[in-house]
Amino acid sequence: MPTQNPVSSADLAAAVKKLDHARVLVVGDAMLDRYIFGRISRISPEAPVPVLVVEKELAEPGGAGNVVHNLIGLGAACAFVSVIGDDRAGTELTGLIGGQAGVEPWLLVQGGRQTTVKTRFVAESARRGGQHLLRADREDTRPLHPKLAERLLRVANGAIAATSVLVLSDYRKGVLAGDIPAQLIATAQAAGRKVVIDLRSEDWARFAGADVLVPHAHNLLGEDAIGTDAEIAEAGEALRQAHRFGALLIKRGAIGLSFVDADGCMHMRLSTDETRDLAGAGDAAVAALAACLAAGVAPRTAAAVARAACGLVGSAIGSGIVRAKDLLGMVSAKI
């Protein structure tokens, strides 16, 4: 039978205290998240659209870079391997990631490639909680040039030896195209490293054999399907066995997370207060899971810490980054 949040608060607190010993390698699609904040007081006379009077702008690492951002917030050391374009956004992203203490960045440049940029226009002045009006994307999703792909593999293979967990964060922007994931998984497992896959597609086969797959529920059951606990457990176990995954941490939106492994399925609910704004909560969960595994925490306890990180980000109006002191305060309050 599925279980419900069986990990004690004391075990969660003990796990969080270990995170500053974690060393994690992230390989995946880096992008720049840009926010343009302003106020609306009128409708345009040119078209029936609101006029946003811009008051401030903010830029943050996005995509796999947000997983890195969360790992640093949790106190883990992190190496990051990705590809950017030879453009202004790539330079800005390099500065944002390289300026974080505890990160060893390997942002390889491909000439002629456009760095992925997501620009969000938000009414009100908050990073989270304001009215999201529009998102405009610029991206290049082509696979990497073969010579650059070879270089990325060389750099990542070298970094695997110095870390305990490999995270492959695939936003389908080209960095993890083709057989790159299979080669990295093989190298990591040969070195005795665990592999976590953060995947936003149904391309399961290219990541076969990884220790933990983190998919969205709708990729398991269909775009419009919510899925009961029983359906999630059945679909998760079928996928786990079909592609030899050690476990699945399934993201179910406002419902919460489900962890499926050889011992069965553990469903972990989010409360109403923890679903105020889930933007970035998935990245926080992936980072917490990977950091825990790198620190030697048992997989089920690591999954429960991931659920706590997801809830902490989902409950906040403000920063979308999970930080160790806040996470420890959250779980310790329940002891």
Token pair 């933007």 in the structure block, residue: 279
- Parallel, antiparallel, or unpaired: how do β-strands 117-123 and 103-110 relate? unpaired
Separation CA 3–CA 266 (nearest Å): 5
Token pair 């409950």 in the structure block, residue: 315
In what helix (H) or strand (E) does residue 195 lie, and over which residues does it extend? strand 194-199
Q: Helix H segments across the chain?
A: 9-16, 64-73, 88-98, 146-160, 180-190, 217-221, 229-242, 281-294, 299-315, 324-332
Name the active-site residue from 11, 29, 87, 283: 283
Residue 221: strand, helix, or coil: helix
Separation CA 286–CA 123 (nearest Å): 29
The reply to whether 283 belongs to the active site is: yes
Give the bridge partners for 24, in sequence order.
78, 165
CB under 8 Å to 30, separation ≥6 — which residues?
61, 62, 63, 64, 65, 80, 82, 83, 84, 93, 97, 107, 115, 116, 175
- Residue count of the chain, please give it: 335
Residue 107: strand, helix, or coil: strand
How many C-beta atoms lie closer than 10 Å to residue 247's C-beta? 23
Which amino acids are annotated catalytic?
A: 283
